[in-house]
Amino acid sequence: MPDQNERPTGAHEQSSDERRFLLRVTPTPSGCWEWDGGRYPTGYGRFRFRGSAGYAHRAAWTMFVGEIPSGLFVCHHCDNPPCCNPAHLFLGTPMENTQDAIRKGRWQPRPAAPPYVRPPGPRRYTNDAQRADILARVCRGETQVSVARDYSLHITTIYKIVRAARDSRGAGHA
């Protein structure tokens, strides 16, 4: 692994990917290798490696430490997303990554979204005014088929609106 505060030099034969990579990092006094290339909106570096674009810190791990086992994350000890210094990186499971973020006070759970409740039956297709008009037209003697055609609804939806009204008012109405 390269020295924490410096870019690696001729310690081993560098590949073209390593040379391209090292041109895009700048060592800082904290020891981070700040990524100077393109970044994702989250601040993590973006680097084309082995034919596809990915995270620069993952490429750094692969080039200077070794392969990343399936299912593991490359996490930061320094909590600096643009840092690509392999000495500041470690492998962890998704759970370990989350626990690390909680320990360091970086975890802010998203507020739970209210559950979506789909309205039952024909309420999902019509509003109160439309249902009232549909009922009035059927009560005046229009066929449910013609009302359904006018509202671009299936006949079953019209039938359910009429049935719901009858059930709520008693069988003698609507």
Residue 7 counted as domain residue: no
pLDDT (tens digit per residue) in 47-63: 988 888 899 999 999 99
At 139, which helix (H) or strand (E)? helix 128-139
> How many distinct structural domains can be found in the chain?
2
Q: What is the pTM of this model?
A: 0.56
Helix, strand, coil in percent for the chain, rounding step 5:
40, 15, 45
Picking from 75, 103, 131, the residue at the C-terminal end of a domain is: 103
Q: Is residue 34 located within the same domain as residue 99?
A: yes
CATH no. for residue 30?
3.90.75
Residue 3 within a domain: no
Q: Residues 98, 129: one domain?
A: no
For 92, the 3-state DSSP assignment is strand
> Hey, what are 114's tokens?
């209210």
Domain that holds residue 149: 121-169
The mean pLDDT value of the chain amounts to: 85
Q: Encode pLDDT of 78-119 as tens digits.
A: 999 999 999 999 999 999 999 998 898 888 777 887 776 666
* Residues β-bridged to residue 43: none
Number of helices and strands (H, E) in the chain? 6, 6
